[in-house]
């Protein structure tokens, strides 16, 4: 998981993830009817605003950066890059990105375990995708 102040700004790897929840849900259905229709019809509506809570593993330096981001209460760009091995073109794996503010919540600490937290992202844009990191908006 990566973060940058702007789309083309310097990206910092802020955490390691083992799983990622659904980044976006299907659009809600809008149901409609008319006098000359025998049954109701549906059309795609809009997506609901959603927050993402992602369990993350991190180093102390990454935690410091995440805490700084959470305390700032500002939107920034977030990038979730799939492993390079999944890319059909070398070095350009599918990358999802969006703007969001964040907050941190501690997770259980275990002997011999990595540091873990839950990061909650409050999305303020749609989730977009690119092959590799995006270069412009």
DSSP H stretches of helix in the chain: 60-72
pLDDT tens sequence for the chain (137 residues): 999 999 999 999 999 888 888 888 888 889 988 888 899 988 888 877 788 999 888 888 888 999 999 999 999 999 999 988 888 888 899 999 999 999 998 776 767 767 788 999 999 999 999 999 998 75
Q: What is the pTM of this model?
A: 0.81
Residue 29: burial class (beta carbons within 10 Å; 0-12, 13-18, 19+): exposed
* DSSP characters over 101-125: EEEEEE----TTPPEEEEEEEEE-S
């Amino acid at each position: 998981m990566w973060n940058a102040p702007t789309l083309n700004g310097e990206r910092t790897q802020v955490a390691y993830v083992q799983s990622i929840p659904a980044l976006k849900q299907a659009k809600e259905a809008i149901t409609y009817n008319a006098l000359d229709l025998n049954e109701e019809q549906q059309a795609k509506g809009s997506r609901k605003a959603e927050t993402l809570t992602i369990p993350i593993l991190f180093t102390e330096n990454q935690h410091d950066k995440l805490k700084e981001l959470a305390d700032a209460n500002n939107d920034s760009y977030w990038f979730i890059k799939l492993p390079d091995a999944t890319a059909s073109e070398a070095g350009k794996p599918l990358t999802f990105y969006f703007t969001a503010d964040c907050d941190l919540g501690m997770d259980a600490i275990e002997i011999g375990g990595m540091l873990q937290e839950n990061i909650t992202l409050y999305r303020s844009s749609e989730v977009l995708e690119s092959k590799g990191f995006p270069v412009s908006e």
